[in-house]
């Protein structure tokens, strides 16, 4: 091979590296680095049992963060997801305890529908107030965060709501603890939610409209896109994702408390941002978001295994991560 051919290949490779979107690749590089760090700190980190446990525990935030990806990609923000999760869980458990339908399986199936319906309605409430009232998403969802949490506390009478039927609890528990082809059920649920969300965002006109609205709302309007409808639908999707996360969460403990979902909004937004989705809107990365949720759980797992930093500081570490992720995003955008 001649020197000129080698130089051409080198320049071609360098050009490909320059064209590579680092915001899309960075989450996966960071995930690989965390794997190396975890293995160095504690050899048990790479055990199959530990990794499957981390995947399972990350399922709630991963599913909620997928919904948040749509909201943020469209230029919105939802701070109410944690309180919404508590409300959905509380209403679902109250319904399951009502024994309104004969048969545990029938009750569970209808309970799942009730949860998804409540989540969708809560999301629709956020979307409607934001779009019709023309109020900033930050203000609206801050308000509904307080409303949802207060209603949950009222429903629980300041305590907790537990599933009364032991037979129903035993029937529901495998949704969190069960496996299919060697993988935990929550991992399969994450995969299905991720595939459906990626298809909607990348392969449908609605997904293209979400990105267009987040990129430039005025241009989207002039292009004939129903901006308010698209933006409201992203909040409905967020509510549905919250409900799915709750359906996975409830079998874990069989109960919900007034603190259920606390700080889930911080974790979901952090997962979205470190996954490469632009907080300003116009860019959405479903698989990056799921990777981001997995990274957050890995960080917590490493902290527990290492005993270097108290696990009570996980929230502080996650807050630091979102600040660093935003700084990295801004730096990469300036370089472009």
Number of domains in the chain: 1
DSSP 33-95: HHHHHHHHH-GGGGSHHHHHHHHHHTHHHHHHHHHHHHHHHTT---S-HHHHHHHHHHHHHHH
Q: Residue 279: which residues within 8 A CB-CB, separation 6 or more? A: 72, 269, 272, 273, 326, 329
pTM of the predicted model over 0.85: yes
Does residue 17 belong to any structural domain of this protein?
A: no
Question: Minimum mean pLDDT among 7-21, 128-142, 162-176, 252-266: which range?
Answer: 7-21
Does residue 10 belong to any structural domain of this protein?
A: no
Q: Is the confidence at residue 184, as pLDDT, over 60?
A: yes
> Tokens at residue 236, please?
């409905």
Look up the CATH number of the domain holding residue 281.
1.10.3470
**Tens digits of per-residue pLDDT, 54-75?**
999 999 999 999 999 999 999 9
pLDDT band at residue 280 under the 50/70/90 scheme: confident
99 vs 3: which has the higher pLDDT: 99
> Tokens at residue 122, please?
């809560």
Does residue 270 belong to any structural domain of this protein?
A: yes
Q: Is the confidence at residue 99, as pLDDT, over 70?
A: yes
pLDDT band at residue 286 under the 50/70/90 scheme: very high
Q: Is the confidence at residue 22, as pLDDT, over 80?
A: no
Query: For position 276, what pLDDT does the model report?
Result: 86
pLDDT band at residue 19 under the 50/70/90 scheme: very low
**Tens digits of per-residue pLDDT, 142-154?**
999 999 999 999 9
Q: Is the confidence at residue 14, as pLDDT, over 50?
A: no
Does residue 110 belong to any structural domain of this protein?
A: yes
Query: For position 145, what pLDDT does the model report?
Result: 97
176 vs 323: which has the higher pLDDT: 176
Q: What percent of the chain has pLDDT above 90? A: 60
Does residue 46 belong to any structural domain of this protein?
A: yes
For residue 258, what are the domain limits? 24-335
Tell me the average pLDDT of the chain: 88
pLDDT band at residue 299 under the 50/70/90 scheme: confident
DSSP 141-199: HHHHHHHHHHHHHHHTTTSEEE---HHHHHHHTHHHH-EETTEEHHHHHHHHHHHHHHH
Phi, psi (degrees; rounded to nearest 5) at 78: -130, 110
Q: Is the confidence at residue 115, as pLDDT, over 70?
A: yes
Does residue 18 belong to any structural domain of this protein?
A: no
Does residue 233 belong to any structural domain of this protein?
A: yes
Alpha carbons within 13 A on the beta-carbon side of 325:
28
Question: What is the spatial distance between Cα 201 and Cα 220, in angstroms, rounded to a whole number?
Answer: 16
Does residue 9 belong to any structural domain of this protein?
A: no
């Amino acid at each position: 091979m001649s020197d000129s051919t080698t130089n051409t290949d080198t320049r071609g490779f360098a050009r490909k590296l320059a064209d590579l979107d680092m915001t899309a690749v960075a989450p996966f590089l960071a995930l690989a680095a965390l794997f190396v760090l975890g293995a160095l700190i504690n050899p048990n980190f790479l055990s199959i049992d530990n990794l499957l446990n981390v995947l399972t525990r990350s399922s709630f935030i991963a599913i909620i963060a997928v919904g948040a990806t749509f909201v943020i990609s469209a230029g919105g923000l939802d701070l109410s997801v944690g309180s919404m999760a508590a409300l959905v869980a509380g209403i679902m458990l109250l319904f399951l305890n009502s024994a309104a339908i004969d048969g545990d399986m029938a009750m569970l199936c209808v309970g799942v529908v009730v949860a998804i319906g409540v989540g969708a309605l809560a999301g629709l409430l956020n979307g409607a107030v934001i779009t019709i009232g023309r109020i900033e998403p930050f203000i609206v969802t801050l308000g509904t965060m307080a409303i949802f949490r207060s209603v949950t506390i009222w429903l629980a009478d300041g305590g907790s709501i537990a599933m009364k039927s032991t037979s129903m609890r035993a029937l529901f528990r495998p949704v969190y603890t069960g496996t299919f082809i060697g993988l935990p059920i929550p991992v399969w649920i994450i995969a299905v939610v991720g595939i459906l969300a990626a298809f909607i965002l990348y392969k449908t006109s609605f997904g293209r409209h979400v990105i267009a609205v987040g990129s430039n709302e005025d241009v989207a309007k002039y292009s004939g896109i129903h901006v308010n409808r698209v933006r409201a639908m992203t909040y409905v999707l967020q509510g549905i994702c919250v409900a799915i996360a709750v359906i996975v969460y409830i079998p874990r403990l069989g109960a919900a408390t007034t603190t259920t979902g606390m700080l889930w909004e911080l974790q979901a937004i952090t997962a979205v941002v470190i996954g490469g989705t632009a907080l300003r809107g116009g860019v959405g990365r479903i698989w990056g978001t799921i990777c981001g949720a997995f990274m957050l759980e890995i960080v917590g797992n490493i902290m527990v295994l290492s005993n270097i930093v108290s696990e009570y500081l996980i929230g502080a570490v996650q807050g630091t991560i979102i600040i660093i992720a935003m700084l990295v995003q801004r730096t990469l955008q300036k370089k472009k």
